[in-house]
Amino acid sequence: MGNCFNKDTLEKQLIEDFKEEKKTLKLLLLGAAASGKSTMLKQMHFFNSIDRISQSNYVPTIQDILLLRVPTSGIVEVQFNVNRFPFRVFDVGGQRNERRKWIHCFDNVQAIIFVAAVNEFDQTLEEDENTNRLIESLHLFKSICMAKWFINTGIILFLNKTDLFEQKIAGKKSIKQLFPSYTGSNSYSDQLDFIQQNFLAMNSNPSKQVYAHRTCATNTDQMELVLKNVFELVLASLYNKASMY
């Protein structure tokens, strides 16, 4: 294509290409157990179905019912359209025994959404009471950044459950016990900044882009705005790549 094509022309061509080749934009939703990623998957599904759900004769579909469920085991998929582009989001089990099943299966995704529960700085894993949950999340994030399957895949980092984190900080808890190197104040913002810096430091690949968002997955208004920004980011990346040809 080239610079002579404007964005509207490029978008029309991309849509036709997607229809012709039956392509979809694939996103991988990752995170440790209880990070809140399954709640985000529900948000994506129901935001896309708001017109259907608001009908007076609305009857839940099988997928509606399945999404209101126990923690993820295996792989759960949600499909929807954004600006006429088909998206598929895959949510995989967050527990250690589930992770081994998926890491090599998604080397062709357009982006990774990684969810970390920042309020878990003083909690341990259910399957290993000697391992801190936030440290486990940091290690998992590092492994994703370094994985050969995702070497060219951008990552959208959600620092989730900020409301619960703020409550703990207001209750005089601190990250200092977990991070002895932390020398900042006891404020919510400074401690959250430090956690974000630690996650971003896990990415040693200068060419890999990581976009950080601070979220509360149960705040539907905030999540709707954040998710729209995420989808726009993925589409913008698609436009940029297409305009280079």
**Can you say which residues are annotated as belonging to the binding site for Mg(2+)?**
72
For residue 140, the number of C-alpha atoms closer than 13 Å in the C-beta half-sphere is 29
- How many CB atoms lie under 10 A from the CB of residue 206? 6
Cα separation of 194 and 80, whole Å?
A: 35
Distances (CA, A) of 175 to 40, 190, 197: 26, 10, 13
Cα separation of 158 and 114, whole Å?
A: 6
Binding-site members are: 66-72, 91-95, 160-163, 217
Interstrand relation of 75-82 and 85-92 (parallel, antiparallel or unpaired): antiparallel
Return the closest-CA partner of residue 82 out of 18, 159, 21, 156. Answer: 18
Binding-site members for GTP are: 66-72, 91-95, 160-163, 217
Return the closest-CA partner of residue 118 out of 54, 48, 179, 55. Answer: 179
Contact 31, 115 (CB under 8 A): yes
What is the DSSP secondary-structure string of 50-88?
HHHHTSTT----HHHHHHSSSSP-SEEEEEEEETTEEEE
